[in-house]
Amino acid sequence: MLIDFFLHLKASRLPVSIKEFLTLLEALRQHVIEHSIDDFYLLSRTVLVKDESHFDKFDRAFGEYFKGVEALPGMEVLIPEDWLRRAVRKHLSDAERARLEKLGWEKLMETFRQQLAEQKERHSGGSKWIGSGGSSPFGHGGTHPEGIRLGGRSENRSAVKVWERREYRNLDDSVELGTRNIKVALRRLRRFAREGAAEELDLEGTIAGTARNAGWLDLKLRPERHNAVKVLLLLDIGGSMDDHIRVCEELFSACRSEFKHLEHYYFHNCVYDHLWRDNRRRHSERIATHDVLHRYGGDYKLILVGDAAMSPYELLQPNGSIEFNNAEPGAAWLRRLADTWPHTIWLNPESEHSWQYRQSTALIRNLLGGRMFPLTLDGLERGMRLLSK
């Protein structure tokens, strides 16, 4: 089984070697880890992957090979405590969900502050106190149409604010595209120039120069043409965007190959006070958005990529950001971006017919003057045509 796993990693174009595989087998023989698939994942990634830039490829290959496997064959495994907690989590009927009260921003924040002051102990499964697994608007792991999630993970994505330190992964810009259509669509955004050190053969000039030189070869070179368009790419990462990682990686990879002058940054849900380049260091190496606004000239084309799915509070309210207390609402930052770079579009991976059902999507679309396009081939072509004007 493990030999097939090693061959599967090789087939997935991961640079793993026999020596590293033997080290992994020796670690298993010495019982370095407990008998769980999670421990084996951490051990095998540590031993086999030499460069953290390959983590995404390893995760995909590992998930494909061990899909549905809960333990290594022949080894006992304890049922994780988290599984037991999920099994007894409270489930609500549709009628019970409908009866839950949406408090609104001001009332929600006021009630949350009061609960923090009054609550003295942990609660689980309730409908009022800050806790887990219940229908209270405060806590995690439960169900409420609108609330504040404190730590933990939840399939319910309707939280107004999330107080936890969440980690995201960088997009893989080396993804092999199954089609060239995305690149072809991006090529509508082109302005050729002959600059830089790279040179190509000037065939007509060489023929004319050789003729003038009585048949002696006279090579003529000229600077190679390249796409001189400057692109600033801002990518929404994490949360509901996890559903669209594959198409975003394909877009990111295509942009890398098509645009020589490409700068990229990440944000979450909406642009606020700061952006970041590396999701692994997003808490420690942030770049002030004001600095980005002044760093790139108005000749850049701005492309924002995100599903625009968030609470309207994030766009309209100070302190509305889902992860921190922002002094200005997201709408103010989006207006600054559009004012700084007149050639701005938003690419949305969600289907276009669903936009009308989300208030935040309509708000962003209006803020950008309708310049939102679906992340489809047709949407890309329409967006590139607009940017090239």
Q: Are residues 150 and 241 in the same domain?
A: no
Return the closest-CA partner of residue 283 out of 247, 238, 330, 316: 238
Given a cut of 70, is residue 62 above it in pLDDT? yes
Average pLDDT over residues 288-301: 94
pLDDT score at 176: 42
DSSP string spanning 137-198?
Answer: SEEESS--SSEEEESS--S---EEEEES--------TTPPPS-SHHHHHHTTS--EEEEEEE
Q: Are residues 362 and 252 in the same domain?
A: yes
Task: Judge whether 168 lies within some domain.
Answer: no
Q: Are residues 353 and 317 in the same domain?
A: yes
Task: Judge whether 83 lies within some domain.
Answer: no
Q: Are residues 131 and 53 in the same domain?
A: no
Q: Are residues 119 and 259 in the same domain?
A: no
Domain count for the chain, please give it: 4
Which residues on neighbouring strands pair with residue 223, listed in sequence order? Answer: 199
Average pLDDT over residues 135-161: 54
Task: Judge whether 285 lies within some domain.
Answer: yes
H or E segment to which residue 275 belongs: strand 274-276
Distances (CA, A) of 261 to 73, 107, 249, 264, 318: 50, 47, 18, 10, 34
Distances (CA, A) of 151 to 85, 113, 118, 130, 139: 15, 17, 20, 11, 8
Average pLDDT over residues 116-143: 55
How far apart CA 23 and CA 4 sit, in angstroms, is 16
Q: Are residues 293 and 366 in the same domain?
A: yes
Given a cut of 70, is residue 51 above it in pLDDT? yes
Which segment of 88-102, 175-189, 351-365 scores lowest on mean pLDDT?
Answer: 88-102
- Domain CATH code at residue 312: 3.40.50
More confident residue, 147 or 292: 292
Which segment of 22-31, 50-59, 296-305, 358-367 scores lowest on mean pLDDT?
Answer: 50-59
Q: Are residues 236 and 384 in the same domain?
A: yes
How far apart CA 294 and CA 265 sit, in angstroms, is 15
Distances (CA, A) of 278 to 239, 259, 261: 17, 20, 19
Which segment of 85-94, 102-111, 206-215 scores lowest on mean pLDDT?
Answer: 85-94
pLDDT score at 128: 55
Given a cut of 90, is residue 123 above it in pLDDT? no
Chain centroid to Cα 371, Å, comes to 21
HSE-up of residue 144 (Cα within 13 Å, Cβ side)? 30
Return the closest-CA partner of residue 303 out of 244, 227, 228, 375: 375
H or E segment to which residue 287 belongs: strand 286-288
Assess contact for 271 and 289: CB atoms under 8 A: yes
More confident residue, 109 or 306: 306
Q: What is the CA radius of gyration of the chain?
A: 26
DSSP string spanning 230-249?
Answer: EEEEEEE-SGGGGGGHHHHH
Task: Judge whether 71 lies within some domain.
Answer: no
Percent of the chain scored above 90 by pLDDT?
26
Q: Are residues 332 and 256 in the same domain?
A: yes
The set of residues, in sequence order, having a beta carbon less than 8 Å from that of 332 and lying 6+ positions away, is none
More confident residue, 201 or 331: 331
Q: Are residues 42 and 120 in the same domain?
A: no
Given a cut of 70, is residue 179 above it in pLDDT? no
Given a cut of 60, is residue 346 above it in pLDDT? yes
Of 33-42, 96-105, 168-177, 275-284, highest mean pLDDT: 275-284
Average pLDDT over residues 121-125: 54
Q: For residue 136, what are the domain limits?
A: 93-163
pLDDT band at 192 (very low <50, low <70, confident <90, very high): very low
Q: Are residues 211 and 144 in the same domain?
A: no
Which segment of 147-151, 176-180, 304-308, 370-374 scores lowest on mean pLDDT?
Answer: 176-180
Average pLDDT over residues 92-102: 55
Which segment of 94-108, 218-232, 375-389 scores lowest on mean pLDDT?
Answer: 94-108
Q: Are residues 244 and 319 in the same domain?
A: yes
pLDDT score at 84: 47
How far apart CA 70 and CA 39 sit, in angstroms, is 11
In this structure, the number of other CB atoms found within 10 A of the CB of residue 12 comes to 16
More confident residue, 367 or 100: 367
H or E segment to which residue 83 belongs: helix 81-87
How far apart CA 7 and CA 361 sit, in angstroms, is 45
Q: Which of 50, 65, 80 is the C-terminal boundary of a domain? A: 65
Average pLDDT over residues 257-269: 90
Task: Judge whether 172 lies within some domain.
Answer: no
Which segment of 193-207, 330-344, 351-365, 375-389 scores lowest on mean pLDDT?
Answer: 193-207
More confident residue, 374 or 185: 374
How far apart CA 335 and CA 303 sit, in angstroms, is 14
Given a cut of 60, is residue 198 above it in pLDDT? no
Task: Judge whether 76 lies within some domain.
Answer: no
Q: What is the pTM of this model?
A: 0.54
Given a cut of 70, is residue 281 above it in pLDDT? yes
Task: Judge whether 343 lies within some domain.
Answer: yes
Percent helix / strand / coil, the chain, rounded to 5: 40, 15, 40
Q: Are residues 243 and 221 in the same domain?
A: no
3-state SS assignment for residue 276: strand
pLDDT score at 88: 43
Task: Judge whether 174 lies within some domain.
Answer: no
Sign (positive/negative) of CA torsion 86, 87, 88, 91?
A: positive
Residue showing tokens 């023989």: 29
How far apart CA 346 and CA 289 sit, in angstroms, is 18
